[in-house]
Structure 1
Amino acid sequence: MAAERFARHGTVRLAFEVFGPPGGRPLLLVQGLDSPMQWWPDGFCAALAARGFAVARYDCRDCGRSSRARPSARPGVPPYTAMDMIDDAAAVLDALGWGAAHVVGMSLGASVAIGLALRRPERVRTIVSLAGLPFGFHARDALPHLDLLGVARLARLSTRQAADYEQDIRVQAQMARMLAARSQPFDEDWARRTAERVRAAAPGDPATARRQLAAMRADDGLLRHPETVSVPLLALHGAEDPLIRPQSARVLARSVPQGRAVVLEGVGHEVPGRAWASITEEIERNAGRNLAGRHSLCGTWKP
């Protein structure tokens, strides 16, 4: 198992782990809303390392082993911003000694990856958006791409205050199941083991998701112009995503000069083991793409 290390961004401490060869192509994984880095499966990280990447995953601020936020001194104002979360990613790159990296973001993490490419373009080689929104989290930008029934189901689960350890583990595993493709077998053992690892690393805070979403929405317009992204971008999306409609990948790909979309059949809002070979192949392909020219392509992958 990779050893835990820490980066610093001002007073914020950011926990991260590294897999793969020290001289490999640098690749940064950014998880989604209130999702500690362990939700990037170890086997997935190892599969990327086997393709020659040096892989870093980290806990975004306010979750996992990274620094937790204090309440804002101003009512209604989030204690940090989307720009802070973007600069956190750059701080992890600094701690690793990476001038630039390929960046793969999941869900909210995809917005962090795109924001890093928009605000700190010299730090990003390529982007992969996994189950991401094309224009950020402000209601008017996000609503056309959300499955509101799925969002409501997840919200009911995520806002439950666990009465004890066992209930906390059970709810986390239920959330993982809810996000998975319904047409495929679900790995209950992996979900429970991961939930136990997450809990052992640091107990969760039910308010984290609200604060992270508020931070993204507060920087209105930050992510509204992906057409200015200057690096190759791959938008991967599960055909059975219960939260964000697969059309989002195609919209994002069409918005970016070097955008490409692939919809993954039999995949939800997740990175399941049966799709690792295809997903890592697509990430490697995107990393090797020519920086010149416009590529707005769509495809479908079937298990």
Structure 2
Amino acid sequence: MPYCSVSGRAADDGGEEEEVRIFYQRYGYGATKVILIIGFAGTLESWAPQVKGLTGAVDPVDEEAPADGGGAAEGVEVCCFDNRGVGRSSVPAQKSQYTTAIMAMDALALMDHLGWQSAHVFGHSMASKLAAMAPERVASLALLNTTGGGYQCIPKKYLDEVVGSSTRRKILYQEYVKGLSSGGMQSRHGFEGQLNACWTHKLSPKELDRIRSAGFLVLVLHGRYDVVAQLYHARRLAEKLQPAAKMVELHGGHLVSHERPAEVNITFPIPSYLLILSLYFS
């Protein structure tokens, strides 16, 4: 099983945290690196439409294969992982071990483990925190259905809306079952810890300026009808990150990465010749 150890880091309370192992999987081969960072309570399986769209792969690479993909310069290598507290990654018991800063450091440690100097970073709140903490490691940044911090419950109206031939409730349930089959039910410690990270997440003016002035492209992607993470917050974030940021509003809700996978994939700020994969394999 591919794991990255991030043990021994100082906790917020000054103590040493317990050993934490981050479970990850790699897909595809190539010099272009993409790291996908899932949001609250999600597992790496949630990125399936993006993984397939970017690499054409549905199965992870051989664990013994070199992380550089054997020098396939024109390909894309994608890494996605289970955040601490969910799936097959470790579940620290202390709530203080869950903040977006700590979880962003997990992602950076994973990049070090893979030997990646930089990567195109795509994800939720942890992605923006990573970019603020280590802008030199970011080739580009794409933020999906980001929130203004704090926990927002999923409204019943949202769950009952029809997407294609199914409801969002059924789609979410299927994703939940898929996650259970691979990593088991999320524990109370993991749920409460990740909830704490959501509650306490924020970007300071200095962090926003660090992202804005870093020189990489920032895309803020959001479903127009997202009632979980309000579109207002995404628009405000894009405004604060001008002129580096571009706001992209797509037809869909909080599951826009599943509702409109081809549109989401093609917005990735990677070389245009690679984006043909997004349309062909989605």
Shift of 1:125: 0.9
Q: CA deviation at 1:53?
A: 2.1
Q: Is the 8 A contact 2:145 2:222 kept in 1?
A: yes
In the other structure, the counterpart of 2:76 is: 53
TM-score by length of 2: 0.74
Which residue does 2:219 correspond to in 1?
A: 234
In structure 1, the residue corresponding to 2:25 is in which secondary structure? strand
In the other structure, the counterpart of 2:192 is 210
Cα distance in 1 between the residues matched to 2:32 and 2:263: 19
- Quick check: 1:43 aligned with 2:43? no
Is the CA contact 1:249–1:263 (under 8 Å) kept in the aligned structure 2?
Answer: no
1:235 and 1:227 map into 2 onto residues whose CA distance is: 16
Task: Specify which structure has the bigger relative contact order, considering alpha-carbon pairs within 8 angstroms and separated by 6 or more residues.
Answer: 2
Residue deviations 1:45-94, cap 9 Å, x none? 1111149421111000111100001135xxxxx23433211100001111
Give, in angstroms, the shift of residue 8 of structure 1: 1.2
Equivalent residue runs for 1:118-137 within 5 Å: 118-133=132-147, 136-137=148-149
Q: Partner residue of 2:39?
A: 32
Label 1:183 to 1:83 Cα distance change in 2 as closer, same or farther (>3 A): closer
Q: How does 1:18-97 map to 2 (within 5 A)?
A: 18-21=26-29, 23-40=30-47, 42-50=48-56, 52-71=75-94, 78-97=96-115
State the alpha-carbon separation in 2 of the partners of residues 197 and 97 from structure 1: 30
Distance 2:161 2:76 in 1: 28
Tell me the TM-score normalized by structure 1: 0.69
Question: Out of 14, 39, 52, which is 2:22 matched to?
Answer: 14
Against the structure 1 CA distance between its residues 112 and 182, is the aligned structure 2 distance closer, same or farther, given a 3 Å change threshold? same
Question: Which consecutive unaligned segments of at least 5 residues does structure 1 have?
Answer: 73-77, 143-150, 155-174, 290-303
Look up the match of 1:287.
270
Length, aligned pairs only: 238
**Are the structure 2 counterparts of residues 189 and 211 from structure 1 closer, same or farther at C-alpha, using a change threshold of 3 Å?**
closer
Q: 1:85 to 1:240 in 2, by over 3 A?
A: same
For 2:217, the aligned partner's letter is P
Question: 1:29, CA displacement in angstroms?
Answer: 0.6
The alignment partner of 2:226 has SS state of coil
**2-side partners of 1:34 and 1:193: how far apart?**
14
- Match of residue 259 from structure 1: 245
Q: Percent identity?
A: 25
Q: Distance in 1 between matches of 2:55 and 2:187?
A: 32
CA deviation after TM superposition for structure 1 residue 191, in Å: 4.8
Unaligned runs of 5+ in 2: 8-18, 57-73, 273-282
